[in-house]
């Protein structure tokens, strides 16, 4: 199979779909890998490094799309990339379609087979291709939250961990999944006062055992979230409903209860965000203010630590990429129902129920794998 990797074109996106090591693995399996020139230069993967492991370098993204059967990316395709997709293509990347109807319709129109990292499952029911970026975003959320709490950034002027004789900042984490746990690890490491909110009592018990007395846990009832918003200096939205739009847990009215100069970081922004006042931002303009509260809603947070993120992502995505290349997308998914859960669009139809359910006028049409 011919596997193509275009250069990412989203704002300040320096990650790349395949590392040279991943390219070498695909080449060793007998596949041809086509890389757009400079695709990895943002994180010091030179064209020469790719050539040494057997890749072919081309000058433009158009050449990648024209020559490749499978397109491997990091972020969702931008409009000019969707326009280059054809029915014979397999697209393998993050999609987050529930928050992006134009992209959904564009991929349907293309006829391509589109496999989303974020809905591929494991035998245990986890999301192994989403996990590494959730880990990165969770850890980053505390880092950026602490930064924007600084007064010169417009924040309240609060040190996350306090100092002897001065209380630490209160941090509320909405969601006890991978991103939430990693946020809690970083926040407790900085000696903040941390509470995790979740609707699963079993998960709350697991978190209590894991963190012990270093955090508090709370069932995420509406009244509890309202109190958390009113009392906290930093609120991190780490809610995930696989494939679906994130629920709006914090309303505009709740936001008005927050202290002036407090910060929210919405990790769930790729799926539409879990704050009513959230809207996607970029690394160029990462924050905005509503009712005196700083909002950080960058839709590709891990792109800020692109080298770490690329290695972590490739560790998770490469095994499936090899299977898709070896067998073809449909046979690979037929053989592996967990990979099949990643299928979001094919033959002009939406194949993932949670995505279809988000839109009133798009039907869910599952594949018959028999």
Catalytic residues, which ones? 96, 270
Please tell me the distance from the alpha carbon of residue 108 to that of residue 178, in angstroms, as a whole number.
31
Helix and strand totals (H; E) in the chain: 14, 15
Task: With CA atoms as reference, report the closest residue to 336 among 355, 314, 321, 357.
Answer: 321
- Residue 155: φ, ψ to 5°: -80, -175
Q: Are 233 and 259 in contact (CB under 8 A)?
A: yes
Please tell me the distance from the alpha carbon of residue 131 to that of residue 126, in angstroms, as a whole number.
8
Q: Are 188 and 215 in contact (CB under 8 A)?
A: yes
Relative to beta strand 287-290, strand 293-296 is antiparallel
Q: Are 134 and 178 in contact (CB under 8 A)?
A: yes
Please tell me the distance from the alpha carbon of residue 329 to that of residue 84, in angstroms, as a whole number.
19
Please tell me the distance from the alpha carbon of residue 91 to that of residue 93, in angstroms, as a whole number.
6
Task: With CA atoms as reference, report the closest residue to 295 among 270, 325, 343, 262.
Answer: 262
Residue 205: Cβ-neighbour burial (10 angstroms; 0-12, 13-18, 19+): exposed
CB neighbourhood size of 289 (10 A): 12
Lookup result for tokens 């695909």: 26
List, as own/partner pairs, every contact residues 358-365 make where C-beta atoms lie below 8 angstroms and the sequence separation is at least 24, other chains included. 358/97, 358/98, 358/244, 358/245, 359/101, 359/104, 362/101, 362/104, 362/105, 362/108
């Amino acid at each position: 199979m011919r596997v193509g990797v275009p250069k990412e074109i989203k704002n300040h996106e320096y990650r790349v779909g395949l590392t040279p090591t991943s390219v070498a693995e695909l080449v060793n399996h007998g596949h041809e890998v086509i890389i757009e020139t400079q695709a990895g230069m943002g994180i010091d993967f030179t064209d020469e490094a790719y050539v040494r492991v057997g890749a072919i370098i081309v000058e433009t993204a158009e050449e990648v799309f024209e020559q490749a059967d499978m397109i491997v990316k990091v972020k969702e395709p931008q409009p000019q990339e969707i326009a280059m997709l054809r029915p014979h293509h397999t697209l393998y990347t993050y999609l987050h379609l529930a928050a992006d109807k134009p992209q959904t319709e564009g991929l349907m129109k293309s006829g391509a087979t589109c496999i989303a990292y974020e809905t591929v499952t494991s035998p245990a029911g986890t999301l192994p291709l989403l996990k590494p970026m959730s880990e990165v975003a969770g850890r980053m959320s505390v880092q950026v939250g602490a930064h924007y709490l600084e007064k010169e950034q417009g924040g309240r002027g609060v040190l996350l961990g306090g100092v002897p004789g001065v209380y630490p900042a209160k941090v509320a984490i909405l969601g006890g999944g991978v991103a939430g746990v990693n946020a809690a690890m970083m926040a407790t490491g900085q000696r903040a006062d941390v509470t995790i909110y979740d609707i699963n009592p079993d998960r709350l018990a697991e978190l209590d055992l894991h963190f012990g007395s270093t955090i508090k846990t709370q069932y995420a009832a509406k009244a509890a979230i309202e109190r958390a918003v009113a009392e906290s200096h930093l609120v991190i939205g780490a809610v995930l409903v696989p494939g679906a739009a994130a629920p709006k847990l914090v309303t505009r009215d709740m936001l008005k209860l927050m202290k002036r100069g407090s910060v929210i970081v919405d990790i769930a922004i790729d799926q539409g965000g879990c704050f009513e006042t959230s809207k996607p931002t970029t690394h160029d303009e990462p924050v905005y203010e509503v009712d005196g509260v700083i909002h950080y809603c960058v839709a590709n947070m891990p792109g800020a630590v692109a080298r770490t993120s690329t290695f972590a992502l490739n560790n998770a995505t490469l095994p499936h990429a090899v299977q898709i290349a070896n067998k073809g997308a449909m046979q690979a998914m037929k053989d592996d129902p967990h990979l099949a859960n990643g299928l979001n669009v094919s033959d002009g139809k939406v194949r993932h129920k949670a995505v279809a359910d988000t839109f009133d006028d798009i039907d869910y049409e599952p594949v018959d794998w028999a």
